[in-house]
Amino acid sequence: MRNRLILLPGWGLGVSPMEPLAAALRGLDEHLQVDIEPLPELDSSDLQDWLDELDERIPQDVWLGGWSLGGMLASGLAARRGERCCGVVTLASNPSFVAHEQWPNAMSGATFEAFLAGCSADPRLTLKRFALLCTQGAEDPRGLSRLLLGGAPNTTANVLLAGLELLAQLDTRAALQGFRGPQFHLFAGLDALVPAEAAAALFALLPDIEIGLIEQASHAFLLEDPHGVAGAIQAFLHECGDD
């Protein structure tokens, strides 16, 4: 099913931020089937539990893509499936969301810990803050953050916390290095959550993959510029189809 792309959303905001991108992709290629798969609603922060559920739900032999946390999970599932995955596409997705010694181009541990504590104390307020960070760098950050929050599902505090705890420990470098299929990783130049420098660091780690950067864009670039993001993805898929 090289003509099917499954997209996974990011943390906390549900599938609605992905919908304009999915529509734009379908508009560019009528033969491409694009589906958005919601993230698991688990109170476990064990990566294998999340991948097990996604593996069960998502058909084999499709392209896997995702935004932020969704991209990290798509990378993990692609590595698990190997030849049974057509390729992987990530959007504003850092191999490690939280900075550590081997991957400094990420959110500081102290900032993330404060975020985690905030989610424990007041999940709704934390989600609002998160939406504002997602849109920082956009032309209309407040309007865009209201759009993000307007479509957010009513997720329980336990599930939101488990997703953050998963995000804290995830490191997809080994998964991406082990996956032999085509890869495309698209970053945003004004991203307040994933530093643009992560793009160069990932290219240094994996020089054989495709990396893109939309310079004047926020973490929420798939909602800010769905047609630009769709064009970049479609060009990559078309190039892979010509190989």
> What tens digit of pLDDT does each residue of 4-50 get?
999 999 999 999 999 999 999 999 999 999 999 999 999 999 999 99
Q: What is the pLDDT confidence band of residue 1, given thresholds at 50, 70 and 90?
A: low
Is the pLDDT reported for residue 242 higher than 90?
A: no
Please say whether the beta carbons of 103 and 176 come within 8 A.
Answer: no
Please say whether the beta carbons of 133 and 193 come within 8 A.
Answer: yes
Measured distance CA(106)–CA(91) in Å, rounded: 15
Over residues 183-196, the pLDDT tens digits come to: 999 999 999 999 99
| 212, β-bridge pairs | 186
Instruction: Please name the helix (run of DSSP H) or strand (run of DSSP E) that holds residue 91, with its range, or none.
Output: strand 87-91
- Look up the CATH number of the domain holding residue 12: 3.40.50.1820
Domain ranges, residue 20: 4-242
Over residues 64-82, the pLDDT tens digits come to: 999 999 999 999 999 999 9
In Å, what is the CA distance from 119 to each residue of 13, 31, 95, 126, 161? 14, 41, 23, 5, 7
Alpha helices in 38-156, H assignment, sequence order? 47-57, 69-81, 109-121, 123-135, 141-150
pTM, entire model: 0.97
Is the pLDDT reported for residue 240 higher than 70?
A: yes
State the total domains in the chain.
Answer: 1
- Which amino acids are annotated catalytic? 68, 191, 219
From the DSSP assignment, how many helices (H) and strands (E) are in the chain? 11, 6
Q: Which of 98, 34, 41 is nearest to 66 (CA)?
A: 34
Q: What value does the mean pLDDT take over residues 158-178?
A: 96
